[in-house]
Amino acid sequence: MSNQRQIKIRLKAIIKVLIYKSILLKSIRFILFIFLFHSVSEAAEPSMNILRQEIFALNQNSRMAPDLLLKLEQIENPSSLIIAYKAVCEAHIAKVVSNPFEKYFYLHKANKHLSHAIDLDYNNIEIRFLRYAVQVQTPKILGFRKNIEEDKKVIMNSFTSFDWNQVDRKVINYIYDFMMENSECGEYEKERLNYFLSEVI
């Protein structure tokens, strides 16, 4: 075999190796990109339990609501529950603004977003409770208490089917205390709630 032919064969072999290495390197880079993208996506996904705690912490300090609302607005393609959490923030902002028109504006937005969240997830007991809690604490004169009975009925009928293991105990305690102290609930309803929640708490 001539030297020239041997050189050609070696060159072809080298080219094949280089092409293989190039493809392999690109594949590794692609796999790393997918892994890193997936990791970042997971890191950006908020813990629902932490968000619940932050939402219910607003009951001690409504002035934290604007910062939490800003945080929630950064979430792309928000779920129905995230939309409901944003609405709760808006209701808390209504508490702290001094201008009556701003109060009405934020309460209107809150109720609109809560209703939208329920349209997306009609039987979600957590969203129903959030709207119920907002409306029960809203002055009647403003006209934002139209869904109290409807939401209470869904809440009462959904207690046994809801997965309470996903909810932090502090949040469960808050729901329990709120419903038991709420004048909108009759004695029979309170007895049922007491029975259901005593199994969980």
Does position 28 have pLDDT exceeding 50, yes or no?
A: no
176 compared with 138, residue with greater pLDDT = 138
Least confident range of 71-80, 138-147, 174-183: 174-183
Domain 47-198 belongs in CATH node 1.25.40:
yes
176 compared with 42, residue with greater pLDDT = 176
Task: Give the range with max mean pLDDT: 95-99, 139-143, 190-194.
Answer: 95-99
Neighbours of 99 (CB within 10 A): 8
Least confident range of 55-64, 102-111, 116-125, 154-163: 154-163
Does position 199 have pLDDT exceeding 60, yes or no?
A: yes
Per-domain residue ranges of the chain: 1-45, 47-198
pTM, whole model, 2 decimals? 0.73
Q: Residue 18 has what pLDDT?
A: 46
Model pLDDT for residues 42-93, shown as the tens digit of each residue: 334 468 888 888 998 998 999 999 999 999 999 999 999 999 999 999 999 9
From CA 73, how far away is CA 78, in angstroms rounded? 8
Q: Residue 124 has what pLDDT?
A: 87
Burial code (b: 16+ CB inside 10 Å, e: under 16) for 67-95 equals ebbeebeebeebebbbbbbbbbbbbbbbe
Q: Residue 195 has what pLDDT?
A: 82
Q: Residue 29 has what pLDDT?
A: 42
From CA 14, how far away is CA 159, in angstroms rounded? 69
Q: Contact 29/16 with Cβ under 8 angstroms? A: no
Does position 24 have pLDDT exceeding 50, yes or no?
A: no
